[in-house]
Structure 1
Amino acid sequence: MIDAYTWPTPNGHKVHIMLEECGLEYRVHPINIGAGDQFGEDFLKISPNNKIPAIVDTDGPDGQPISLFESGAILLYLAGKTGKFLPEDVRGKYEALQWLMFQMGGVGPMLGQAHHFRIYAPEKIEYAVNRYTNEAKRLYGVIDKQLSTHKYLAGDTYTVADIATFPWLRSWQNQGVELDDYPHLKRWFNDIAERPAVKRGVEVLASARKPLQGDKEREVLFGATQYQRR
């Protein structure tokens, strides 16, 4: 049994989708990041960076429980556990891994900043809005070019790279992007959105997430609470 400590964010949805795609049995433990659950002592034991998602697999590699944080690491662990969504051949594996790292190092951080400065920042800073909107469009262009000659990010096979990237592109409007400007990406996006496991994954805890409720929640997410040493 896998216990998933999570919330319905793009990084959370990566793991929800992977669990569904792999057909693994799991339990969901909501970590309401607006309420500050991520700073709880028990959660910090499995996620010392106070970020979701994290998992505990009661049946780890040596038969003992293992806990993991960082969504990319979790995807690779689940791929290794099940033998799914990461090619076995050396070339295919590294082609998938490079696009997974592209998501972890570029798509997630940059689109996250686009979300922040376009939607959540208490003041609209034109330089920041333009910088991260333009970077979002650049990243979409990189993906669109890759998908102009490949069915999926790493080739003709659906992998952890697609699972990791898709949730971040679901908010394309909030990133200042027009999906029609990227026809190859749009085809890929729509194909993945129709996968039954993806549909189930993005619904995990979806009804629990609400718009920002006020200054207290905003402070928990973006204020000094984030930076306290724990």
Structure 2
Amino acid sequence: MSHGKQFTLYTNKKGPNGWKVAIVLEELGLAYEPVYLDFGKGEQKAPAHTKHNPNGRIPTLIDHANGDYTLWESDAILYYLVEKYDPEHKVSVADAGERFQVLQWLFFQASGQGPYFGQALWFKFYHSETLPSAQERYQKETKRVLGVLEGVLAKQDTLVGGKITIADLSFIPWNDMAINSILDIDVAAEYPVVTAWHKKLVERPAAKKVLEVRAAMNAPA
């Protein structure tokens, strides 16, 4: 089977984690074909997708130039992309110690930011009943994660190596949601350093391009 693009990216129009992979693909100038799975129809759980990703979630990336090598879990995908396709270290680092620090932040994003921000969003907008205790818990956890980032970034411009890497880029989509919808506070006032860092990230050409596509796809009809 021939493929017009090097990568196939199974993703979703709204789900944050697929967009971060798209941002890094754009940063590295890698050609990819996005396949937007319809969650309402359960396409992410259908055999056509679970044969690639047994977890039935997004994103899933297939590298056709590498024997259809397949990966799921967004931050594992980011690390794969820079390890294999970023020899110039455009958004990665060369130093071994700093590479472990990149992993540290990717784990924090995956275990801290993603789940807590996601639950805050769910209990604020989508849960079938209003549960103030759950809303309070995840609002607090969202603020705690932002507080960690605020404290670190107050001392340094980026998370690792004095440059923008996948560690920073991995936080873009969920931070964008926290700033614009999840939290009922003035995020810019409470977390000015994080807000400035986020603004710098989303103004990068690759991120700007991807986020414009996301906005267009999710615009009201």
Report if TM-score (shorter chain) is over 0.5: yes
Matches within 5 A, 1:1-230: 1-8=6-13, 9-60=15-66, 64-83=67-86, 84=89, 85-172=91-178, 173-176=180-183, 177-180=185-188, 181-209=190-218
Aligned AA for 2:181?
N
Q: Which secondary structure state, in structure 2, belongs to the residue aligned with residue 59 of structure 1?
A: helix
Pairs aligned (count): 208
**Contact 1:16–1:204 (Cα < 8 Å) also in 2:** no
Aligned AA for 1:70?
E
Measured after TM superposition, the shift of residue 205 of structure 1 is: 4.9
Query: Quick one: structure 1 residues 31 and 203, their matched pair in 2 at CA, closer, same or farther if it must change by over 3 Å?
Result: farther
Q: What's the CA shift string for 1:147-178, capped at 9, x where partnerless?
A: 10111122411111111111111112422142
Aligned AA for 2:10?
Y
Superposed CA RMSD in Å reads: 1.5
Aligned AA for 2:9?
A
Q: Greater CA deviation, 148-157 or 38-47?
A: 148-157
Q: Which secondary structure state, in structure 1, belongs to the residue aligned with residue 206 of structure 2?
A: helix
Percent identity, aligned pairs only, is 37
Q: Which secondary structure state, in structure 2, belongs to the residue aligned with residue 46 of structure 1?
A: coil
**Contact 2:93–2:161 (Cα < 8 Å) also in 1:** no
Q: Which has the higher contact order (CA 8 A, sep 6+)?
A: 1
- CA distance, structure 2, for counterparts of residue 205 and residue 7 of structure 1: 10
User: What is the aligned partner in structure 2 of residue 216 from structure 1?
Assistant: none
Q: Which secondary structure state, in structure 2, belongs to the residue aligned with residue 202 of structure 1?
A: helix
Measured after TM superposition, the shift of residue 108 of structure 1 is: 0.2
TM-score (norm 2): 0.89
Q: What's the CA shift string for 1:63-114, capped at 9, x where partnerless?
A: x221111101110111112124221111211111111111001000000000
**Contact 1:118–1:174 (Cα < 8 Å) also in 2:** no
Aligned AA for 1:165?
F
